[in-house]
Amino acid sequence: MVYPPGVERAGAGSLASLVNRTEIPMVGLVDLWLPILLSAVFVFVVSSIVHMALPIHKGDWKKLKNEDAVMDFLRGQGLVTGGYMFPCAGSMKECGTPEFMAKLKRGPAGHMTILPPGGVNMGKSLIQWFLFCLVIGVVVAYIASITLGPAAAAKQVFRLTATAALLAYGLTNVTDSIWKGVSWTITLKFLFDGLLYALATGAAFMWFWPKAG
């Protein structure tokens, strides 16, 4: 084992005392309740502005031609709430059959989500979104608490917490384009959203990070 200069001759006891003297004090999750809460509030406000006041996402969805006729047809199929794929193979073996391959080639192929009657419950979804933001705030706080001490510089706090938040809010959208056929243009928009949410999270933790002493 390689010891710092002067430690090798001092022995194990001195090494232990050296480690204890240089140990960085930890910040508990309880001490970070305020930035956790405010980061969720900041992200909630920013997301409301992005989706209600800015035109960024207005072109994300396309309207069906003959929408009423398509809806009437789907209504007659007795579909229940959930996700559907078409064409959909019943097994991996069926995926390789000539009949299934012909369906894929002929098209259309895609994914479809059937919502409950009445569509999205905005109140319920907004509550779930805020709770999700709180969960991300807790995870970001945990990462920061085991990495940074109470005397951490503001820039360090911002960089770490914003980066962790970006992983949660932004990069998770990439799989939609990889596996679900979502346009990369749309995914880039959500990556931009995630960047804004990450900056808001980093700002909350930077401004309200507990001070030493």
pLDDT at 154: 95
Burial-class residue 61 by CB neighbours within 10 Å (0-12, 13-18, 19+).
Answer: exposed
pLDDT at 211: 85
N- to C-terminal Cα distance for the chain? 35
- State the average pLDDT for the chain: 89
Determine the average pLDDT of the residues in 5-11.
48
**Residue (of 203, 131, 148, 191) closest to 167 by Cα position:** 191
Amino acid sitting at position 150 = P
Tell me the per-residue pLDDT of 9-61, one tens digit each, with 9 for 90 and over: 545 455 455 445 455 678 899 999 999 999 999 999 999 999 999 999 998 99
Q: In angstroms, how far apart are the furthest CA atoms of the chain?
A: 86
Tell me the per-residue pLDDT of 78-129, one tens digit each, with 9 for 90 and over: 999 999 999 998 899 898 899 999 999 998 999 899 999 888 999 999 999 9
pLDDT at 22: 52
Beta bridge partners, 82, equal: 114
Give the 3-state secondary structure of residue 17.
Answer: helix
The single residue listed with the structure tokens 């009423």 is: 68
Kindly list the distances between the CA atom of residue 66 and the CA atoms of 72, 81, 113, in Å, as whole numbers in the listed order. 10, 22, 19
Rounded Cα gap, residues 153 and 160, in angstroms: 11
Is residue 7 over pLDDT 50?
no
Structural domain spans, the chain? 25-61+120-207, 67-114
Is residue 69 over pLDDT 80?
yes
Most confident of 4-8, 22-26, 75-79: 75-79
**Residue (of 157, 126, 125, 153) closest to 35 by Cα position:** 157
**More confident position, 143 or 17:** 143
Peptide bond into 87 cis (omega under 30): yes
Buried b (16+ CB within 10 A) or exposed e, 73-88: eeeeeeeeeeeeeebe
Beta bridge partners, 112, equal: 84
pLDDT at 142: 97
